[in-house]
Amino acid sequence: MRSLLLITIFGKTNRMAEQKIKILPDYIANKIAAGEVIQRPESVVKELMENSIDANSVSIELIIKDAGKTLIQLVDDGIGMTEEDATISFYRHATSKISSVEDLSSIKSYGFRGEALSSIAAVSQLEIKTKTQSDDVGTVIRIEDNSNVIKQKEAVVKGTTVTVKNLFFNIPARRKFLKSNNTELKHIIETFKRIAISHPEINFKFYNDDDLVYDFRKGKLEERMPAVFENDFFETLIPVEQLTEYLNVKGFIAHPNNTSKSRAGQYLYVNNRFVISKSINHSIYTAYENTIQKGEYPFYVLFLEIDPTRFDINVHPSKLEIKFDDERNIYSFVHSIVKKALASYDLVPKTTLNAYDTNGSRLTFSNYKKTGTNDFSDRPFFPSNNDKKKPSVFSDEEIDILFGSINKEIKINSDGQNVESPFNNQFKEVYHERDTNSEDDDGTFIVSLQNKYILSQVKSGLMIIDQHAAHERILFEKALKSFEVNLPMSQQLLFPQRINLDPADYELIKDIESYLNKLGFEIKFLSKNTISILGIPSDIKSGNEKEILLEILNEYRLNEQQKSLELRDNIAASYACKAAIKTGDKITKHEMRLLVDQLFATSLPYVCPHGRPTVIKITIEEFDKRFGRL
């Protein structure tokens, strides 16, 4: 009875009270929906240009007045629309691009929501003139605030002309919050450039207040890029191209010396659509791996081609955000391709002999050139007594002797792929503890400066190598490879070493144990925060295993606080830093040559994992200038 009474009471109360929930009229609902699609004049430009491209246009003209607030007009020579299609195109969700739910999983056109024209019509005074190839006359439709629609026939050329006047005239609040003409025009130009870059096969013209600002002639991407950007700037870009069955990547990336303080110069396209992806942006940024300074961003124009079923662009009405079905693999793929492109060019920085700048000065990179695999044309070169001999091939035994040079008691037995040497000199004997006379008599120039730097002659002048930083880079990449191969080279300790750790270090070692094992550490966990080291990597000097492991943990935590490194990169960098040759360690000429050889066999020999340069050049011109020869 009580329940029935409550239902009755609430029923009477509802009937007595005034109804509060209402269905909004279409003209209000359309204005609300339009706000998601049309946020500023640039939004109109983007939607109209994309419609023109979907219409197979060969030429597109954009005319702007008063930064788009007064007039936005787009003229194309596309396929046009019939009277029936033009009439229905203003309705919400009217589209020719999709017809079923399944179509959303393989979108190939720019437009597909059917919201652009209806949204524009809801917030402006709109006119469309359009004609197909088969029609004798065209169709003209004018819309005033979605209430007054005028339709008529006129003689117009094939294609479509869309004229948008007085944007947001019926939403004063939205119009009031538009930025200055300079700001709004900047956004329009940026969108115009983005689309023009991705479609070099189309002629584009841009008029601002009756002045022709851009006239891009159709051609190839290599011709469009210098037209959009400065000619000299384009010549400094590094080409990128990698084609696979899964993903194609091509485009251009900036030389590390050409960076900016903002991300404005970053253009990422997926199937020719400009998109924003924090994940891919991060993969590109980290591929530069400390060759650029913190707070600076590389310029790039990259095109990704992938099966449309592998991503979703239907995330936001602006269609700028994107989600991939395999974000991690795409991240890794793009990262490796960009890194490979950077490594294929000589990026050794050069320095001058100016007075010391107390504010700090950045090293500038040499005029870079493409280098092939094991191309050492401007790297340390040591001629042999017989110039006809081929470059030597160092065995893995010799390489590992370098890695384990601090620990002469380690015996190494390994087989693997040989690496060509930059030194045109064949070493036939494995290193013993002292230099041989043949090394001193071969006329080469390689010396150690205070057991810290290696100096060697190159074609352009003098190369200076930081021996610790160089060895760090070698060990860093060796560690990354060991993570992939999962075949650790461990030397067993005759007497296991016990270490009492604080609880934090004990838990940290537990967390990263699998990576430590792949490096060659063999660790047994005992009770009460105690571990026992049973084996260590072949690169570590026997007797220092406790100190090295603790230093790796400290370095790992420091990197975790100061850098946004992935777990594996952090462990590899921490290990490389603590296992590398130290400043003050004396190495022989043979070891110096092996060190330089292996440095330039790495994927990015120009910086250590911490971002310090491993090598710099002082050009012969700089020496000539200092000695008054120039």
Both 389 and 518 in a single domain? yes
Both 332 and 379 in a single domain? no
Establish if 20 belongs to a structural domain: no
Q: What would the two tokens of residue 579 be?
A: 């296992």
Q: For residue 370, what is the DSSP state? A: B
Both 377 and 497 in a single domain? yes
Is the Cα torsion angle 413, 418, 419, 421 positive or negative in sign? positive
Mean pLDDT by 10 residues, the chain (630 residues): 47 57 63 66 94 94 97 96 86 58 55 71 92 94 78 94 94 87 96 96 97 96 91 83 93 86 89 92 87 83 92 70 89 92 78 53 52 53 45 47 42 39 38 42 73 89 92 93 83 90 91 92 91 90 83 86 78 90 90 91 86 87 86
Where helices occur in 146-271 by DSSP H, the ranges are 172-176, 181-198, 221-228, 231-235
- The separation between CA 582 and the C-alpha centre of its own chain, rounded to angstroms, equals 33
Both 319 and 378 in a single domain? no
**Among 183, 216, 249, residue at a domain's last position:** 216
Q: pLDDT value at position 42? A: 95
Both 266 and 179 in a single domain? no
Structural domain that includes position 457 = 361-630
Establish if 34 belongs to a structural domain: yes
Both 628 and 552 in a single domain? yes
Query: What amino acid occupies position 276?
Result: I
Please answer whether residues 415 and 388 qualify as being in contact, where contact means their C-beta atoms are separated by less than 8 angstroms.
Answer: no
Establish if 13 belongs to a structural domain: no
Is the Cα torsion angle 535, 536, 537, 539 positive or negative in sign? negative
> Three-state SS for 162?
strand
Please answer whether residues 89 and 81 qualify as being in contact, where contact means their C-beta atoms are separated by less than 8 angstroms.
Answer: yes
Both 207 and 241 in a single domain? no
> Phi-psi region for residue 162, left (φ > 0), alpha (ψ -120 to 50) or beta?
beta
Please answer whether residues 97 and 109 qualify as being in contact, where contact means their C-beta atoms are separated by less than 8 angstroms.
Answer: yes
Please answer whether residues 229 and 237 qualify as being in contact, where contact means their C-beta atoms are separated by less than 8 angstroms.
Answer: no
What residue has token string 């990259």? 302
Both 127 and 249 in a single domain? no
Q: pLDDT value at position 57? A: 97
The domain that holds 209 is classified in CATH as 3.30.565.10
Both 471 and 549 in a single domain? yes
Both 244 and 172 in a single domain? no
Q: pLDDT value at position 489? A: 78
Both 276 and 399 in a single domain? no
Backbone φ, ψ for residue 365 (5° rounding): -85, 150
**Among 216, 241, 269, residue at a domain's last position:** 216
Establish if 10 belongs to a structural domain: no
Q: pLDDT value at position 417? A: 42
Both 491 and 412 in a single domain? yes
pTM, full prediction: 0.69
Q: pLDDT value at position 486? A: 76
**Residue 185 neighbours by CB distance under 10 Å:** 20
Q: pLDDT value at position 408? A: 40
Q: pLDDT value at position 436? A: 44
What residue has token string 């936001």? 316
The separation between the first and the last C-alpha atoms of the chain, rounded to the nearest angstrom, is 108
d(CA 86, CA 84): 6
**Among 216, 250, 269, residue at a domain's last position:** 216
d(CA 197, CA 498): 62
Q: Mind giving me the DSSP string for 386-450? A: -TTSPPPEE-HHHHHHHHTTT-TT---------EE-SSS----S---SS--HHHHHS---EEEET
The domain that holds 260 is classified in CATH as 3.30.230.10
